[in-house]
């Protein structure tokens, strides 16, 4: 279902040598990665859990979900807004680039897939706009 055309702020971040973004409305905060406790028998994309000010936060590696080769371990965590079920989720990323405003009418949605909303052109580069709800599952 197409969303209304207009400016949206997105958080641009890096996974390996590629740029990705998510709607800033989904982002709660950005923190440094601390020691993770592995969860036995968890899905391959779940790196473990960490304590975030007394709250257990599940840390997901979006590289696993997006089928990217992993050559470095991210040191930053983008903590996402909870969806009301009490489960806190964070994404392990390599770097935070910037928050930018994009015109949703300029998003190329021809490449939309289960986990990708579209492509944003930025100078001579592409930024992949991901759907957080699909990465978290």
Query: Structure pTM?
Result: 0.88
pLDDT digits (tens, 9 = 90+) for 84-103: 666 799 999 999 999 999 99
The beta-carbon contacts of 123-126 under 8 Å, at least 24 apart in sequence, are: 125/19, 126/19
What mean pLDDT is predicted for residues 50-69?
Answer: 92
Say how many C-beta atoms besides its own lie within 10 A of residue 33's C-beta.
16
Residue 130 pLDDT exceeds 70: yes
Q: Whole-angstrom Cα distance, residue 109 to residue 90?
A: 26
φ, ψ (nearest 5 deg) of residue 113 = -145, -170
Domains of the chain and CATH, by start: 7-136 (2.40.50.180)
């Amino acid at each position: 279902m197409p969303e209304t055309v207009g400016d949206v702020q997105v958080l641009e971040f890096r996974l390996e040598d590629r740029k990705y973004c998510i709607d800033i409305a989904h982002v709660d905060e950005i923190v440094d990665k601390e020691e993770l406790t592995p969860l036995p028998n968890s899905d391959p994309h779940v790196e473990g859990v960490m304590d975030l000010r007394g709250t257990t936060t599940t840390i997901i590696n979006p590289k696993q979900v997006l089928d990217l080769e992993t050559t470095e371990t991210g040191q930053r965590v983008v903590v996402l807004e909870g969806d009301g079920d009490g489960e806190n989720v964070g994404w392990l990323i390599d770097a935070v680039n910037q928050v930018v405003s994009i015109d949703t009418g300029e998003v190329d949605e021809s490449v939309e897939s289960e986990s990708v909303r579209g492509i944003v052109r930025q100078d001579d580069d592409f930024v992949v706009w991901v759907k957080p709800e699909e990465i978290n599952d």
